[in-house]
Structure 1
């Protein structure tokens, strides 16, 4: 367990495999990137659904389950290696003013294991194949709690020229650094409708 946690707490990200994507476009203003449009290919992810009282509890508990899978609690018995970002799928409530309790935390299976991913020993973890997806993404720094996520959803909705082209109740929070880090690097993703 120590090795992946140590990797996550390092500031260098070159040691971790990034989820591959194609940059389709970039919206800038005065040299600042407002958001990017990206295409992610079909890929396999290890996913765990959580439903705790607080968003932060769900993230922490789900992430620890995935860390155990990454750290040898899998059918290969091997350390799989860290990939970034770790994704959390969130849903807004019926009024679009808060998040529902159910979240899905997802770990990208490293490229060399995509064809035949090791199976988790934890029955709560499921290997899912996600279809190709176009996302609109905006970076933000800091903690990820319900308040900050709702704020980032609102900010990106204001910046997008056609937010109605995206799903209106499902969003992804992409985490690139340790969930406990004060200056955590994150992105909010809007999913383009299929």
Structure 2
């Protein structure tokens, strides 16, 4: 119980920094996810590297192919991007941590992704986002049903993405900056969708120096 309270208190302090209230009923999911969230125990969303662009031995971006797969998705629309992500992720944590039809801990996969949309300017990020968790391989054929009606299981089609890594916070300013940086590296704006982007996060929202990627979706 002491460990649960300590972890909950930490997440609540982080949440206040993003203007998000972390309720007491998150104590058990936070502890369970923390206890099981070792890098060797996290399943990665499978993909194939098609090509990469490097400079002086540093990978600038990769072109990847992701196969079709089932994702648990939450739509969120809060005043700020970080609020939407945090609230969506808390719902997914509950689903992962036994609040599902199987009553089981499902296992963490990475990255957790957020699909965003922009207006005429890439810095104009709309309030409505989709936060999504990839179902582990053993659950792809029969995903447990969420207890929360806000969570929907979707099958996403295969996709080709251009991925560039970055670290730190993921707010409107940093996302707009990363979109512009990756756009400058790509040869042509005709390669990718202009109004839909994906922020892929490999560490939880409470981490101090998050490992992230910006994904551009190749045009069909």
User: Which category of TM-score, normalised to the shorter sequence, fits these structures?
Assistant: over 0.9
Aligned residue among 117, 121, 124 for 2:150:
124
Query: Match for residue 99 of structure 1?
Result: 125
1:84 and 2:110 matched? yes
Root-mean-square deviation (CA, aligned residues, Å) is 1.0
CA distance in 2 between counterparts of 1:92 and 1:118 reads: 32
Pairs aligned (count): 191
1:27 and 2:56 matched? no
1:112 and 2:112 matched? no
CA distance in 1 between counterparts of 2:40 and 2:171 reads: 27
Greater CA drift, 144-153 or 90-99: 90-99
Q: CA, structure 1 residues 151+7, in 2 after alignment: closer, same or farther (shift >3 Å)?
A: farther
Query: Match for residue 70 of structure 1?
Result: 96
Query: Can you list the C-alpha shifts for 1:77-106, whole angstroms capped at 9, x where unaligned?
Result: 101000000000011123333200000000
TM-score (norm 2): 0.85
CA distance in 2 between counterparts of 1:155 and 1:7 reads: 34
Work out whether residues 70 and 156 of structure 2, in 8 Å CA contact, stay in contact via their aligned partners in 1.
yes
Query: Match for residue 5 of structure 1?
Result: 34
**Higher RCO (Cα < 8 Å, 6 or more apart):** 1
Q: Counterpart of 1:14 in 2: which secondary structure?
A: helix
In structure 1, runs of 5+ residues without a counterpart are: none
CA distance in 1 between counterparts of 2:185 and 2:191 reads: 13
Query: Match for residue 58 of structure 1?
Result: 84
Rg larger in 1 or in 2?
A: 2
Moved segments of 4+, more than 4 Å: none
TM-score (norm 1): 0.96
CA distance in 2 between counterparts of 1:112 and 1:96 reads: 37
Q: Counterpart of 2:41 in 1: which secondary structure?
A: coil
1:167 and 2:189 matched? no
Q: Counterpart of 1:79 in 2: which secondary structure?
A: coil
Q: Counterpart of 1:167 in 2: which secondary structure?
A: strand
